[in-house]
Amino acid sequence: MKKIQIRLQEIGDAKRFFKILKNPGFKYFSANPKTIKDEIEFLKLNPKKMMEDSEYNFTILFEDEIVGAIGVKKCCRHDGTGEIGYFLDEKYWNKGIVTEAVKLLEKKCFNDYNLRRLEILMQVKNTASEKVAIKCGYTREGLLKKFLKNRSGKYTDFYLYTKIK
- Per-residue pLDDT tens digits for 82-127: 999 999 999 999 999 999 999 999 999 999 999 999 999 999 999 9
- H helices of the chain, in order, are 14-21, 36-44, 46-51, 97-111, 127-135
d(CA 55, CA 110): 14
Length of the chain: 165
Going along the chain from its start, the domains and CATH numbers come out as: 4-118 (3.40.630.30)
The stretch 44-58 carries a mean pLDDT of 96
Q: Is the pTM above the cut of 0.85?
A: yes
